Chain A
Amino acid sequence: MRKILIADDEHKIVMTLEYTFRKNGYEVFIARDGSEVLELLKEEIPDVILLDVMMPNVDGYTTIQEIKKQEKLKNCKVVFLSAKTNPADIEKGLKLGADAYVTKPYSIKKLTQQIDELLEI
């Protein structure tokens, strides 16, 4: 079973993602900020991590830098989900090593397809 980690501080957004991925057969982990992500990653190695950029305590950019440092997470795909839509923000996210940068609001259908593709490659 594929594992997905959803990190967002907006509860109502998380609800929709959780429902969708669970239905698509993922094991879903939820984190409400970067520090919870890093805490979770000590025990789990998800196949994909969905990261919001603007989160309290530890934001998405910092979180991905921590992720990229860890050897055991090198196969783990990271996808940013963010309402920050400036080209500069997107570029920054990709430069930090994200596999994709999806801007909010997104189409759930397209998002799941994109993630499936990402994992099959």
Chain B
Amino acid sequence: MNSIELFAIIMLYLALLFFIAFWAEKRKSNFWANNPYVYSLSLAVYCTAWTYYGSIGVAANQGLEYLAIYIGPIIIIPAWIVINSKIIRISRVNKISSIADFISLRYGNSRSFGAIISVVCILAIIPYIGLQIKAISDTFHLVTKSENPNNIFTDTATYVVLLIAIFSSYYGTRYVDASEKRLGIISAVAVESFLKLIFFVILGIFVTYGIFNGFDDIYEKAKNLPEFTQRNSFNGLEGSFNWMLTSMLSMTAIFLLPRQFHTTIIENRKENHLKTAIWVFPLYLLIFNFFVFPIAWGGKILFLGQNVNPELFPILIPQKFGSILISVIVFLGGLSASISMIIISSVTLSIMLSNNVIIPYGWIDTFKTKNDTFNNKNIVNIRKVSIFLLIITAFVFYKYLILESSLFSVGLVSFVLIAQLAPSFFGAIFWRRGTYTGAVIGLILGILICYINLIIPQYLKAINPELAINQYRILQFFKIPYLETIPQVFFWSLLANATVFTIISVSSKGNYRERNYAEIYVDINRYIQNHEGAYIWKGKANVSDIRKILVKFLGDKKTKQALKIFNLKYNIDDENDTADSRFIKFSENLLSGRIGTASAKILIEGVTKEDKISLPEVLKILEESKENITLNRKLTEQSRQLRRLSDDLRSANSSLIEKDKQKDDFLDSVTHELRTPITAIRAAGEILLDDDDIPVEIKKDFLENIISESDRLNEIINDILYLDKLESGTIKLNINKNNIIDTYHKALKPIYHLIQQKNIHHSEINLLNDNEFYYDEARIIQVFQNILGNAYKFTEESGMIQVKFQEKDNLLKIGIFNTGKKIPDEDIDLIFDKFYQSKYQNIRKPVGTGLGLAICKKIIDAHQGKIYAENKEIGVTINILMNNDKNEAV
């Protein structure tokens, strides 16, 4: 394949990325924005060209060391749920846009600390970016079998890098607010992560199954190579220590690498995306590493005795077997790995460079005097220029400084440098006492140790190999004999860094602002709801003055909106001009994303007059606010309880009113029911008394009526009392094992001859397997009698009554059907009410008390059962459902 063809493929591939970014950014669809897998894949920006080629080299030359770089993150990832949720919250409420912002804000929102961290990151990462460019260039020339020209204008890498720079500066600076999410870039990176894994797996399968006969074959053949055993063991305790320290190094890297901080924290849209990431990301790393071993050892077997750089095995192997397709695919995978690293790193570093170095040290005064259009344009331009600057510097590194170093060693050096942020970073989240002085001195000391022992020797080695060895002897006094250089320096630099940080922090006090942020960081969950309230500030400030500053960056409209939101949130009058601490913090947040936290503070400070607060005072305020928050929480809890109580009372009250009304209705009905027979009795009695010439038959009728109506009265009274007892639970059920068919017959017997007289056909259907159930027989007889009594009354001559026993869904179901008039639909549920009498009732008032079905319902209720009526084609069925579970009946 010649250069032009491959370059065309690269162009196509980059066009695809541009398109994905463009499409995701434009559509802002949920697929990209709210997808935990896109988030998880974007984290795989961790796997750079170093993974793609470097790991193979390490596996071939040094053995298992390559695994340490991935084992570290895999081990620590479960802790993300705790640590990273916290960091995400802190970053969200403080509008943090980079790791430099994150750490420096905690140590008193210090401009100098932010700048130092930014410089450290830039120095550590630029060679790393250079390395990626080198990987692109090397593999390009390898695939096209061309020479790497010295002239940068004929070097293809130049143009690829230029395109990446354009892409990054376009999609990386879409928003002036750097804490905004960059959907386009993240989507493109996620796709790249996906592709590079697939491509790598294709290579792995090609080597393992295409060239060799599976893993066993490679293993069998590799076993005979001289250094196999030594390379594939930990080499005793000493080797294990090296391995463990390298794992710890990668553990810190997964938190601290600016590109990891950016993808994990800044680009996180939902905290619960972390839950997906903690399994997808380790899985990704495992799949990636699965094929490192066969490719490395397969390469060693294939190129035995030849002086070949094993880092290039991924391309050399397919090439050796003439597979251009696979080598191009591998090249594209490596290209993806490099590009995504360059893009994310250059974007994050440019944010640091602009927000923590260039703007706070060079542009604030200019911004103060200009308007929002000018300011925003310049902020974006500063970032664009930063991106180009960073990538060009990296290019220079690649071209002139690191051509000879291996991918692995340059990567590890930058890991060690970045690891120096660990004490102040983790201290920020977990330790209140850490101070600015401690953190800065610790960091500088750690960096110095790294430079003296790691970087300077490396450059000296390039000039004069002997000098380098002498230089390294500086550490000789402390040297732990069995540790290799990288773990050695990592261990000592971090130890010195952390020790100095701790000692200085404990022995110095730190200023109030540090202490204030310490509280917010460590206790973020407590302040998440109103973090502005946790900010301590005393002094004189006017809303109008601060507003003028805000307008210079946000413009009139957005400022107005923001103030409105603030006033609404804290219930503040729009006319109010006195700015309190909450407003100061709110305003700083509005500016933070644009110009960095430090510059935001400096700008707001310029228009306010802050009174000095002593540290004890701050501690007191913090204590109070803590108490306030606790008190507030208690009060909220109490008021919630009160509300619940009053709700309960209200519902109790309304249920009482309902009951009272029911009682009134019941009384009404009762009196009505009682008055009716009394009326008949009284009238008959009166006539009998006054009328002497009443005919004998009528007299007899009247006297009979008096007796029957008296009986009816008595019956009503009995039923009322009985119902009352059932309701109040005074009547205890006498539950026993009984035969339901026998019980039914006992109820049927007294009424049976009446049914026969009316020529009603009575039939029984028994579908039960077992007739025995637990219930109170006397009560159930009453139920049957009431229902049968009604059925008898409402069934016309020559009608039919049919009872059916069956088991349904583990319930005993008894249906008593009778032919005759149906119940109006609207009354079907009312017939079990006391004294139910429908206005649609179209039968003569039945003989009875009007309480029969109400009593039935009460009895069945007491058996935990159900009774209901159902209209059928030619009549009505009363259904009874009773629990079949023999133990559960009450």
| Cβ contact of A56, chosen from B675, B677, B701, B845, cutoff 8 A | B845
* C-alpha gap A83/B673 in the complex (Å): 8
Residues on the B chain within 8 Å of A32, using CB: 844
Residue of B nearest to A83 (CB): B675
Within 8 A of A (CB), among B826-845: 837-845
| Cβ contact of A13, chosen from B668, B683, B686, B694, cutoff 8 A | B683
Task: Check if A83 sits within 8 Å of B684, measured CB to CB.
Answer: no
* Interface membership of B702, Cβ < 8 A: yes
Contact A56:B682 (CB < 8 A) given known A13-B676, A83-B675: no
Within 8 A of B (CB), among A73-102: 83-86
What 1/0 mask marks residues of chain A from 41 to 76 whose CB sits below 8 Å from any chain B CB?
000000000000010110100000000000000000
Residues on the B chain within 8 Å of A109, using CB: 686, 690
Task: Check if A13 sits within 8 Å of B842, measured CB to CB.
Answer: no
| Cβ contact of A15, chosen from B702, B837, B844, cutoff 8 A | B702
Residues on the B chain within 8 Å of A86, using CB: 668
Task: Check if B702 sits within 8 Å of A16, measured CB to CB.
Answer: yes
| Cβ contact of A83, chosen from B672, B690, B838, cutoff 8 A | B672
* Interface membership of B687, Cβ < 8 A: yes
Within 8 A of A (CB), among B656-689: 668, 671-673, 675-684, 686-687
Within 8 A of A (CB), among B174-200: none
- How many whole Å from B831's CB to the nearest CB in chain A? 14
* C-alpha gap A54/B668 in the complex (Å): 13
Residue of A nearest to B843 (CB): A56
Task: Check if B680 sits within 8 Å of A56, measured CB to CB.
Answer: no
Task: Check if A106 sits within 8 Å of B679, measured CB to CB.
Answer: yes
* Interface membership of A9, Cβ < 8 A: yes
* C-alpha gap A59/B837 in the complex (Å): 11
* Interface membership of B123, Cβ < 8 A: no
* C-alpha gap A19/B694 in the complex (Å): 9
Contact A107:B675 (CB < 8 A) given known A9-B844, A32-B844, A57-B840: no
Which of A16, A106, A109 neighbours the largest number of chain B CB atoms within 10 Å of its CB?
A16
| Cβ contact of B684, chosen from A10, A16, A56, A59, cutoff 8 A | A16
* Interface membership of B691, Cβ < 8 A: yes
Residues on the A chain within 8 Å of B838, using CB: 56
* Interface membership of B879, Cβ < 8 A: no
Residue of A nearest to B684 (CB): A16
Within 8 A of A (CB), among B812-853: 837-845
* C-alpha gap A59/B702 in the complex (Å): 27
- How many whole Å from A82's CB to the nearest CB in chain B? 8
| Cβ contact of B709, chosen from A9, A12, A85, A107, cutoff 8 A | A12
Task: Check if A108 sits within 8 Å of B686, measured CB to CB.
Answer: yes
- How many whole Å from A59's CB to the nearest CB in chain B? 6
Inter-chain contact total with CB atoms closer than 8 Å: 81
* Interface membership of B874, Cβ < 8 A: no
Task: Check if B672 sits within 8 Å of A15, measured CB to CB.
Answer: no
- How many whole Å from B847's CB to the nearest CB in chain A? 10
* Interface membership of A105, Cβ < 8 A: yes
Residues on the A chain within 8 Å of B701, using CB: 15
| Cβ contact of A105, chosen from B678, B687, B844, B845, cutoff 8 A | B678
Residue of A nearest to B688 (CB): A16
What 1/0 mask marks residues of chain A from 17 to 51 whose CB sits below 8 Å from any chain B CB?
10110010000000010000000000000000000
Residues on the A chain within 8 Å of B705, using CB: 12, 15
Residue of A nearest to B681 (CB): A105
* Interface membership of A104, Cβ < 8 A: yes
Residues on the B chain within 8 Å of A15, using CB: 680, 684, 701-702, 705
Task: Check if B672 sits within 8 Å of A16, measured CB to CB.
Answer: no
Residues of A in contact, count (CB < 8 Å): 25
Residues on the B chain within 8 Å of A59, using CB: 839
Which of A10, A13, A57, A106 neighbours the largest number of chain B CB atoms within 10 Å of its CB?
A13
Residues on the B chain within 8 Å of A105, using CB: 675, 678-679, 681-683
Task: Check if B680 sits within 8 Å of A17, measured CB to CB.
Answer: no
Residues on the B chain within 8 Å of A23, using CB: 691
* C-alpha gap A10/B675 in the complex (Å): 12
Within 8 A of A (CB), among B22-60: none
* Interface membership of B698, Cβ < 8 A: yes
- How many whole Å from A114's CB to the nearest CB in chain B? 14
* C-alpha gap A104/B676 in the complex (Å): 7
Residue of A nearest to B839 (CB): A59
Residue of B nearest to A111 (CB): B683
Residue of A nearest to B672 (CB): A83
Residues on the B chain within 8 Å of A20, using CB: 683, 687
Task: Check if A57 sits within 8 Å of B841, measured CB to CB.
Answer: yes
Residues on the B chain within 8 Å of A13, using CB: 676, 679-680, 683
Residues on the A chain within 8 Å of B843, using CB: 56
* C-alpha gap A19/B675 in the complex (Å): 20
Task: Check if A54 sits within 8 Å of B837, measured CB to CB.
Answer: yes
* C-alpha gap A105/B843 in the complex (Å): 24
Residue of B nearest to A35 (CB): B842
* C-alpha gap A9/B839 in the complex (Å): 13
Residue of A nearest to B678 (CB): A105
Residue of B nearest to A85 (CB): B671
| Cβ contact of B687, chosen from A12, A56, A83, A108, cutoff 8 A | A108
Residues on the B chain within 8 Å of A16, using CB: 680, 683-684, 687, 702
Residue of B nearest to A89 (CB): B668
* C-alpha gap A88/B680 in the complex (Å): 24
* C-alpha gap A54/B839 in the complex (Å): 8
- How many whole Å from A104's CB to the nearest CB in chain B? 4
- How many whole Å from B687's CB to the nearest CB in chain A? 6
Residue of A nearest to B845 (CB): A9
* C-alpha gap A113/B687 in the complex (Å): 14
Task: Check if A12 sits within 8 Å of B839, measured CB to CB.
Answer: no
Residues on the A chain within 8 Å of B682, using CB: 105-107
* C-alpha gap A111/B676 in the complex (Å): 16
Residues on the A chain within 8 Å of B671, using CB: 83, 85
| Cβ contact of B845, chosen from A10, A106, A107, cutoff 8 A | A10
* C-alpha gap A85/B678 in the complex (Å): 14
Residues on the B chain within 8 Å of A85, using CB: 671, 675
* C-alpha gap A71/B499 in the complex (Å): 111
Task: Check if A57 sits within 8 Å of B842, measured CB to CB.
Answer: yes
* C-alpha gap A54/B676 in the complex (Å): 11
Task: Check if B678 sits within 8 Å of A104, measured CB to CB.
Answer: yes
Residues on the A chain within 8 Å of B680, using CB: 10, 12-13, 15-16
* C-alpha gap A9/B701 in the complex (Å): 18
Residues on the B chain within 8 Å of A19, using CB: 687, 694, 698
* C-alpha gap A85/B842 in the complex (Å): 24
Chosen A-B contacts, 9 in total, with CB atoms closer than 8 Å, are: A12-B709, A15-B684, A56-B838, A56-B842, A56-B845, A84-B668, A105-B678, A105-B679, A106-B679
- Given known contacts A15-B680, A56-B837, A108-B686, what 9 new A-B pairs fall within 8 Å (CB)? A12-B684, A16-B702, A56-B841, A56-B844, A85-B671, A104-B675, A105-B681, A106-B679, A106-B682
| Complex A-B, nearest 5 residue pairs according to Cβ-Cβ distance, in ascending order | A16-B683, A83-B675, A12-B680, A105-B679, A104-B679
